[in-house]
Amino acid sequence: KTISAVNSMSYEDFISTFGNVIEQCSLCAAAVWGDRPFSDVNSLHKSFCQFADQLSIGGKEGILRLLPDLAGRLAMSGGLSKESTKEQQSAGLNTLTEQEKQNMHHLNQQYKQKFGFPFVICARENKKEAILTGLENRLKNSGETEAVTGVEEVKKICRLRLLDIVDSSSKL
Ligand SMILES: NC(=O)NC1=NC(=O)NC1=O
């Protein structure tokens, strides 16, 4: 879509188009619609980032809780959104060995136990080795650090999902 097509969308169309650029957070899209007109995809992304940034830590944790685990039960059962399915496949998470699956599951459980929200990383920017290393390293961080770090990853996921929808060359 061109950015001018985006700018002339009703909020219903905008929400149905962008409601999952932040996983299961159609509220973000519903709020961002009010910032139109957007000059290009970067300013649209900036609005999503600003919405996420102004959330309390609790709100940031809420966004993270809506993301599915990497190589989790939902992924194994084919229950992911189409976006998450594509992203997790691109990181090679659908070709894990039994040992890697066990390891990932154990670390994900430990992470959730400690922080109360899942480990989140932009899967399209990382292969499975980097994901496992990130999970091991970030487990040592504080809850506040991880809430912020996780949202930074959500912003990266959001940008790539926006680029799948909006022509990056189109400008107002
Ligand atoms: N827990 C996660 O990080 N999940 C995900 N990251 C992505 O890039 N796609 C996901 O589903």
- For 29-60, b/e burial (b = at least 16 CB within 10 A) is bbbbbeebebebbeebbbbbbebbeeeeeeeb
- Render pLDDT for 61-112 as a digit per residue (tens, 0 to 9): 999 999 999 999 999 999 999 999 999 999 999 999 999 999 999 999 999 9
Q: Is the CB of 68 under 6 A from ligand 1?
A: yes
- Render pLDDT for 122-167 as a digit per residue (tens, 0 to 9): 999 999 999 999 999 999 999 999 999 999 999 999 999 999 999 9
Q: What's the pLDDT at 128?
A: 94
Q: What are the structure tokens assigned to 164, written together? A: 């799948």
- How far is it, in rounded angstroms, from Cα 58 to Cα 91? 29
Q: Is the CB of 149 under 6 A from ligand 1?
A: no
Q: What's the pLDDT at 46?
A: 98
Q: What's the pLDDT at 105?
A: 97
Contacts of 12 (CB under 8 A, 6+ apart): none
Mean pLDDT of the 50-56 span: 98
Q: From 157, 159, 160, 162, give the residue whose CB has the most ligand 1 atoms within 8 Å, as the site to mutate.
A: 157
Nearest CA to ligand 1 atom 2: 120
- Render pLDDT for 4-37 as a digit per residue (tens, 0 to 9): 999 999 999 999 999 999 999 999 999 999 999 9
> How many angstroms is it from 11 CA to the middle of ligand 1?
26
Q: How many CA within 13 A on the CB side of residue 125?
A: 14
pTM for this entry: 0.97
Burial (CB count <10 Å: 0-12, 13-18, 19+), residue 72: buried
Mean pLDDT of the 41-61 span: 98
Q: What's the pLDDT at 129?
A: 94
> How many angstroms is it from 31 CA to the middle of ligand 1?
23
Burial (CB count <10 Å: 0-12, 13-18, 19+), residue 112: middle
- For 73-89, b/e burial (b = at least 16 CB within 10 A) is eebeeeebeebbbebbe
> At 4, phi and psi to the nearest 5?
-75, -35
> How many angstroms is it from 51 CA to the middle of ligand 1?
19
